[in-house]
Structure 1
Amino acid sequence: MMSKPTYDVIVYGATGFTGQLVAEYLAKTYPSKQDLNWAIAGRNLSKLNEIKSNLNLSSDVDCIIADSNDVDSLKSLVQSTKVVLTTVGPYQLYGNDLVALCAQTGTDYVDLCGEPTWMHDMIAAHQDSAEKSGARIVFSCGFDSIPFDLGVYFLQQKAKEKFSHTFSRVKGRVRGMKGTFSGGTKASLQATMAAARKDKSVMQVLLNPFALTPTFKGPEQPLGNKPIYEEEFNSWSAPFIMAAINTRNIHRSNYLLSHQYGEDFVYDEMMFTGPGEKGKAIADHVAADKSMASDEGPKPGEGPSKEEREAGFFDVIFSAQENQNQLTVSVKGNMDPGYGTTSKMISESAVCLAKDELTVKGGIWTTAPAMGDKLISRLIDKAGMTFNVE
């Protein structure tokens, strides 16, 4: 039997840009060891100590050496904590051993993964051992895919309250957003595309909306890959770069919730660009944008200034209509999505697993079935997010 873990949460990758934001958030939100007993981990002890000093972290916050190339160091890390929070991506390059060890030892795990093919492989490899050990492994606890996964979940809970049924068709639309995608998100996308060029089976997984529901294939889904005018919203809509990961996670949530949204559930995600010729021109421009595939923009470990993070925001709506029944909800965040709010979302996901009484057992999860209402409450109370019926 494993000894009782020393820590509630260990932040692995704390010397990286997002890891530092997570450490800063935890220090501010959970100032005493009684609130949260946490530590920071990474490859380089002097860098960890430097971060500790720069962020003015409490002496209670320990520094732990762990390296993705050293399995023994990772094993020691997972055995000493209830939850591993990892910002070390791309996960397909650096995450395999960590997930395997958490699944074996019964340690909970959260990450910022936006790599559906890797998640597909991890589910196949480790679902059984996570179920046996009790490890709750939750992928995609940042801007991909929390606002979207929990947004659909929130809409469906409100639909049950109001109409006594869920909706089988939901549209997710980004109504407004200011901020950059993270360098890590871009690196993950590029690593995934490189893998797909080498191996055709990777592309098959990428193109399958039900890639993360191993025994279930639902109805055909909208592609969302070119601009459309949507009369009901009086706006042009453009393809949304993160739809490819968010839609997969939402279908997995439905699958893990025993198809609460229906076995005929259809979901797509796009981005409003406004009405008229101007809206169309912006939608065309967004559809043609290839900047995520280029080397421009932030690299992993880089990111926007504090002022830029605080000036950012996101505003996403989820809309459903069936017969005479109609419902729209919104999910908003008060900092830039890729860094500012993402660091808060993954932090609260980890604390939720460590501290809240959840009924969910071991396995590989998405946020809605794993933490649902408890996580929504935390994000509203602590992370500057709102969930509202419009």
Structure 2
Amino acid sequence: MSAPRAYDLVVFGATGYTGKLTAEYIATKLPTDLKWAIAGRSRSKLEAVAAECKTLNPDRIQPEIEVATLDHAELNALTKKTTLLIATIGPYCLHGEHAVKACAENGTHYLDVTGEVMWVSDMIKKYERTAKSTGAIMIPQIGVDSAPADLVTWTLCSLIREKYSAPTAEVILSLHEMKGKPSGGTLSTILSILDVYTFKELREAGTPFALSPIPGPATRDPESWTTKLLGIRAVSGLGIMTTSLQAVADRPIVQRSWGLLGGPSFYGPNFRFSAYMRAQNHLIAVVIHFGLAIASLLIAIPPVRTLLKRFVTQPGDGPTKEQARNDRVEYKGIGNPDVRSPAGRAFCRAHYEGSLYHLTGMLLAKSALSILKDGHKLTGGIYTPACLGQKFIDRLDEGGFKFEKKTYEN
């Protein structure tokens, strides 16, 4: 990107639920001299978003409006105008590739909030080489899928290196609390994935270290037969946990971070990552585990998906600000050093009081600002949230997504 570009960043899909929240966060929280634009298909809807941004913060440079569809020529022209593109148009497996291709080809940095691991795998295979050649820094899954899990894991592994001068044997993550209603876009994505990919393809994308650029460690599975069969795992400091749907998206990204950030030399040669959600007791853990299994079987049936698409919340819809007033999310993680006689272990808590989608908007805006302003020594390629490191975490902490860390001595 040698020649100056018209914009520092563009929010593509700004009239959608997540896109609008991202634009509002940029308007109210990011530096007032930022050159930015909002983009989408409908000028009238974009003008309404711009007007709302002006109401929220009349003292800043307001966003320009760029009308653009998924047409390759239009996206090609748009991505040449901006240093960074935030893509919020999903489901990404149906609509996302056009923006990835244009950004990779034009050296435009790229962020999205997908949780569709198979699609991310496809994008890595198709466009990482191009991104490396043009210098485009591209980070998918930097919303609630999967930035918190990735950043908590990075924090724990960094703390273990600092405190114990040791690699990490295992990080165990608990989605300790997630209070919030899903948007129509989230539900639409879940239902669309099986229309695009087969179970075989989804299994392949979910195999250990499938997204890692280097082969992963051949370590033993940390889960007991009780965990596999009943979905119960109890860990001191985390409590009783059970199967987490979010782990499907988070695990491959954490394992890709392992490979991108040095593999054996940083996280460790025997590194394992396990992710669960908190359960109040053993019975609830079993109920959640089997409930998720039954739900997965049901949505695998095409007529069931068709019915759900007709009656669930539609894309673009989501909880109102009043409905999201008491939302919150909290993660807790334990990291065990990879030494024969561990002297202790690391603990991290990350929490946010507010809407999950406001958090996603902040994650997008703060990561964009970090790429633009923090001097990361990243060449082009497809990265993970953890590759933005402590500078990104510090920006999130300023925005209210708090990270706390400490060590426990044995």
Q: TM-score, normalised by structure 2?
A: 0.86
Contact 1:88/1:94 (8 A) holds in 2: yes
**Cα deviation per residue 1:189-232 (whole Å; 9 max; x = unaligned)?**
322222233xx652342331322125414335557764214153
* Number of the residue aligned with 1:21: 21
**Cα deviation per residue 1:218-260 (whole Å; 9 max; x = unaligned)?**
3355577642141535743221111011000000001000112
> Where has structure 1 moved over 4 Å in runs of 4 or more?
220-226, 276-297
Q: Does 1:389 align with 2:405?
A: yes
User: Structure 2: how far apart are the matches of 1:169 and 1:100?
Assistant: 36
Contact 1:221/1:268 (8 A) holds in 2: no
Contact 2:92/2:114 (8 A) holds in 1: yes
Contact 1:108/1:135 (8 A) holds in 2: yes
Q: Tell me the amino acid that sits aligned with residue 73 of structure 1.
A: E
User: Structure 1: how far apart are the matches of 2:238 and 2:345?
Assistant: 17
SS state of the match for residue 15, structure 2?
A: coil
RMSD across aligned positions (CA): 2.3
Shift of 1:37: 1.3
* Number of the residue aligned with 2:63: 61
Shift of 1:276: 5.1
Q: Does 1:208 align with 2:207?
A: yes
User: Structure 2: how far apart are the matches of 1:205 and 1:317?
Assistant: 28
Q: Does 1:179 align with 2:194?
A: no
User: Which one of the candidate residues 226, 248, 259 is aligned to 1:255?
Assistant: 259
* Number of the residue aligned with 1:92: 93
Contact 2:184/2:317 (8 A) holds in 1: yes
Contact 2:334/2:347 (8 A) holds in 1: yes
Q: 1:166 to 1:67 in 2, by over 3 A?
A: same
User: Structure 1: how far apart are the matches of 2:232 and 2:282?
Assistant: 12
**Which stretches in structure 1 are left out of the alignment for 5+ residues?**
none
Q: 1:238 to 1:75 in 2, by over 3 A?
A: same
User: Structure 2: how far apart are the matches of 1:221 and 1:298?
Assistant: 38
* Number of the residue aligned with 1:73: 74
Q: Does 1:325 align with 2:341?
A: no
Q: 1:297 to 1:151 in 2, by over 3 A?
A: farther
SS state of the match for residue 270, structure 2?
A: coil
* Number of the residue aligned with 1:300: 315
User: Structure 1: how far apart are the matches of 2:125 and 2:290?
Assistant: 38
Q: Tell me the amino acid that sits aligned with residue 239 of structure 1.
A: T
Q: 1:126 to 1:285 in 2, by over 3 A?
A: closer
User: Structure 1: how far apart are the matches of 2:200 and 2:235?
Assistant: 38
Q: TM-score, normalised by structure 1?
A: 0.91
SS state of the match for residue 63, structure 1?
A: strand
* Number of the residue aligned with 1:365: 383
* Number of the residue aligned with 1:378: 395
Identity percentage of aligned residues: 30
Q: Tell me the amino acid that sits aligned with residue 171 of structure 1.
A: I
Q: 1:288 to 1:71 in 2, by over 3 A?
A: same
User: Structure 2: how far apart are the matches of 1:67 and 1:93?
Assistant: 14
Q: Tell me the amino acid that sits aligned with residue 244 of structure 1.
A: V
**Cα deviation per residue 1:344-379 (whole Å; 9 max; x = unaligned)?**
11111112112221111110100112x111110110
User: Structure 2: how far apart are the matches of 1:221 and 1:231?
Assistant: 16
Shift of 1:299: 2.7
Q: Does 1:349 align with 2:354?
A: no
**Cα deviation per residue 1:73-97 (whole Å; 9 max; x = unaligned)?**
1011101111000101111211212
Q: 1:188 to 1:222 in 2, by over 3 A?
A: farther
User: Structure 1: how far apart are the matches of 2:290 and 2:240?
Assistant: 10
Q: 1:221 to 1:44 in 2, by over 3 A?
A: farther
Contact 1:238/1:286 (8 A) holds in 2: no
**Cα deviation per residue 1:60-115 (whole Å; 9 max; x = unaligned)?**
310001111x1111011101111000101111211212111111111100000111
SS state of the match for residue 315, structure 1?
A: strand
User: Structure 2: how far apart are the matches of 1:242 and 1:157?
Assistant: 23
Shift of 1:297: 4.8
Q: 1:227 to 1:50 in 2, by over 3 A?
A: same
Aligned residues between the structures: 382
SS state of the match for residue 240, structure 2?
A: strand
User: Structure 1: how far apart are the matches of 2:190 and 2:292?
Assistant: 17
* Number of the residue aligned with 1:46: 44
